[in-house]
Amino acid sequence: MAEARAEIVANVWKLVASVGDEVAVGDVLAVLETMKMEIPVPSPSAGTVIEIPVTEGQIVQEGDVIAVIE
Amino acid sequence: MFYEQGDDVTSVDTERTAPEHTDHRSVLAQRRDELAVRVEPKGSRVYTARERAEAFVDPGTFVPMVPLRKAGPTGGSGVVTGWGSTSGHPVVVISHDAAVASGAIGAVFAETVQRAQRLAIDKGYPIVYINDSGGARIHDGIHALHGCGGIFANNVEASHVVPQISLILGPCAGAAAYSPALTDWTIMVKGQGQMFLTGPEIVKAATGEDASADDIGGSQLHTTVSGVAHLEVPTEEAAFEAARTLLSFLPNRVGGAAKVVEPRPADPVAVERLPLVVPDKSSVVFDMHEVLDGVLDAGERFELMPTHAPSVLTLLGRLDGRPVAVVANQPKARGGILDAKASVKISRFVEFCARYDLPILTFVDVPGFLPGTVEEGRGVITQGATMLRAYVEAKSPVLTVVVRKAYGGAYIAMGARSLGADFTWAWSGSEIAVMGPGGAVALLHRRALKEAEEPTVLRDQLAAEYRENVARPYLAAEAGIVDDVIFPEETRGRMVDALRLLSHESAR
């Protein structure tokens, strides 16, 4: 199991992946928005997205889990 | 004249001296045989201390200093010191011997290290420390502490004079971790080198925390989170190679000659792509390395701290054959923002490179300093100010180009003209302004936006106007704050011309 985490405090702008999706390493799971920049959140491993604990528009802190991959 | 004409100086009484002479030879031969006995390295180590020193320098060039020095009737000093060359340039090497009391630093060990440091400081040779030591030697009591302090003092003195590189090839505790922290650059071997004040057992006893040696002081921790070390490499050989490459970009001492090589043009594919690297939409990220590839000489780069504060890049490369220091925002990582850690990373790099008269080339695409409680709590004001200081005090050539955007305090901090940059340029599509369009419009038109029927439409319209009228680079160029607005493909030529001027012998 691997977790994709926010690398910076940001607003969750867009969720790209959904629970149940098959993803490869580096696939963009979500896009964060901070300082007027779009920050992609890549998948740290290949597998199935089993959990996305955030919603669009939510503020996340550095290190918060964006998605869980199994 | 020591001898009068006719004196027969070659006449010696061989009958009397021969037996004694032979005895001397056999004693020395025996001493050398004892030294040559190889103690098999423990754990994941590949080489002995002496072999490490020999493997680091050019083949066959290592010359040991005080190899017969003893710490007592039986033990050696616990450290191999000497000199050799890297690519023909002199270097002093200090290699801890983990086979002698785990490389612990006793009084004699410390004296031996200081002797080698003194040679390097007085004559001006870089020092490479091959560290593998458990810290101060308890048996030597306060004499060990006194010796460790002496090594630290020499580290500090040397830092004003010659480059110092530390390689971490084993567990380095206490004093053996502080000395590298006083040197310029620290390279750790993954899974083999650690740095910590105290090892796992003492941590457990002191605070109850259960942590492995790699948890407390492994290369992952120190090259990503703490920033204590600056590069992680897979093997001992890779550590030696990295140190040799790093030295190839540096003069041998402060004030020494730059190691200029045959100029090479930039990679032609990257040059062709250069005008297309920056995305049209200002919020979309890109890889700054692609910009650097289209400007710098093709060939070797040496990136320092690639995994710590990755929103900024600090690397050594060449332009027109001359070693240069590159500072850049990396939009691909965290949008290229500045924060407390990024500021420390840049300050350290700029200070070091300026000391060795390396030109500092700054490539700017910065959305700003990251605001908020976390960053303020990390002391971003102090760290950001340190970055300002580093640029102001840099006396080597400073060339800055804004490739996309430069807002607010971050614009100043990234080597602006006001901090003493020699020449600054802005790419034709770039934005330089006191604030980004979004923030500026919200402040300037607060009342209008509050009263508008469709505030988002009005905001977008005002932001577009701001971008067009206020943020374009021409205001900065008209005010003389940047020297010129240029096309991306002109960057290399401008920088080469400026460097030739600034490094001409008639400069300063």
DSSP string, B375-440: HHHTTHHHHHHHHHHHHHH--S-EEEEEEEEEEHHHHHHTT-GGGT-SEEEEETT-EEESS-HHHH
Cα(B226)–Cα(B437) distance, integer angstroms: 35
E strand residue ranges, B113-179: 127-131, 164-168, 171-173
Distance from the first to the final alpha carbon of chain A: 4
Residue A68: pLDDT over 50: yes
> What pLDDT was estimated at residue B446?
87
> What pLDDT was estimated at residue B508?
61
C-alpha distances in Å from residue B455, one per residue of A57, B121, B217, B440, B450: 19, 66, 52, 15, 7
Sheet containing A22-23, strands listed edge to edge, beginning at the edge strand earlier in sequence: A2-5, A65-69, A47-51, A22-23
Taking contacts as CB-CB distances below 8 angstroms, the residues of chain A near B337 are 8, 34-35, 37
Contact present, B335 and B285 (Cβ < 8 Å): yes
Contact present, A39 and A64 (Cβ < 8 Å): no
Q: Are the beta carbons of B367 and A36 separated by less than 8 Å?
A: yes
**Which pairs count as long-range contacts for B195-204, CB under 8 Å and 24+ apart, including other chains?**
B195/B168, B195/B222, B195/B228, B195/B229, B196/B171, B196/B172, B197/B173, B198/B173, B198/B174, B199/B134, B199/B171, B199/B173
Among B277, B296, B279, B275, residue whose Cα is nearest residue B428: B275
Q: Are the beta carbons of A39 and B282 separated by less than 8 Å?
A: no
Among A63, A51, A64, A60, residue whose Cα is nearest residue A12: A60
Tell me how far the alpha carbon of residue B442 is from its chain's centroid. 41
Taking contacts as CB-CB distances below 8 angstroms, the residues of chain B near A9 are 370, 372, 374
Taking contacts as CB-CB distances below 8 angstroms, the residues of chain A near B368 are 35
The letter for the amino acid at B260 is: V
Domains and CATH numbers, chain B: 40-248 (3.90.226.10), 268-436+471-502 (3.90.226.10)
Residue B408: pLDDT over 70: yes
Greatest Cα pair distance in chain B:
116
> What pLDDT was estimated at residue B1?
37
Mean of the pLDDT values across residues B150-172?
Answer: 97
Q: How many CB pairs below 8 Å do chains A and B form together?
A: 41
β partners of residue B327: B314, B362
Region of poorest pLDDT, from B18-27, B272-281, B417-426:
B18-27
Question: Which residue of chain A comes nearest to B310, CA vs CA?
Answer: A7
**B152: Cβ–Cβ under 8 A, 6 or more apart, which residues?**
B175, B178, B179, B182
> What pLDDT was estimated at residue B468?
80
Region of poorest pLDDT, from B125-129, B290-294, B467-471, B485-489:
B467-471
Question: Which residue of chain A comes nearest to B407, CA vs CA?
Answer: A35
Mean of the pLDDT values across residues B319-335?
Answer: 96
Cα(B495)–Cα(B313) distance, integer angstroms: 19
* Pair of tokens at residue B174: 């206490």
Domains and CATH numbers, chain A: 2-69 (2.40.50.100)
> What pLDDT was estimated at residue A47?
95
Name which residue leads in pLDDT, B221 or B18.
Answer: B221
Cα(B385)–Cα(B305) distance, integer angstroms: 20
Cα(A69)–Cα(A49) distance, integer angstroms: 5
What's the pLDDT tens digit per position in A26-36?
999 999 998 88
Contact present, B164 and B202 (Cβ < 8 Å): no
Angle between helices B49-56 and B236-248 (to 10 degrees): 40
The mean pLDDT of chain B is 92
Among B333, B299, B332, B331, residue whose Cα is nearest residue B316: B299
Mean of the pLDDT values across residues B363-383?
Answer: 93
Looking at chain B, the whole-number percentage of residues with pLDDT higher than 90 is 74
Cα(B476)–Cα(A15) distance, integer angstroms: 39
The sign one gets for the Cα dihedral B294, B297, B301, B306 is negative
* pLDDT level of residue B502 (50, 70, 90 thresholds): very high
Angle at B192 between CA B188 and CA B197, to 5 degrees: 70
Q: What is the ipTM of this complex?
A: 0.80
Mean of the pLDDT values across residues B217-235?
Answer: 96
What's the pLDDT tens digit per position in B106-150?
999 999 999 999 999 999 999 999 999 999 998 899 999 999 999
pTM, entire model: 0.91
> What pLDDT was estimated at residue B2?
47
**B34: Cβ–Cβ under 8 A, 6 or more apart, which residues?**
none
What's the pLDDT tens digit per position in B2-20?
444 445 555 555 555 555 5
**What is the H or E stretch that residue B26 is in?**
helix B14-36
* Shortest distance, CA B293 to any CA of chain A (angstroms): 23
> What pLDDT was estimated at residue B3?
45
Q: Which of A7, A36, A61 lies nearest to residue B334, judging by beta carbons?
A: A7
What's the pLDDT tens digit per position in B435-444?
878 778 888 8
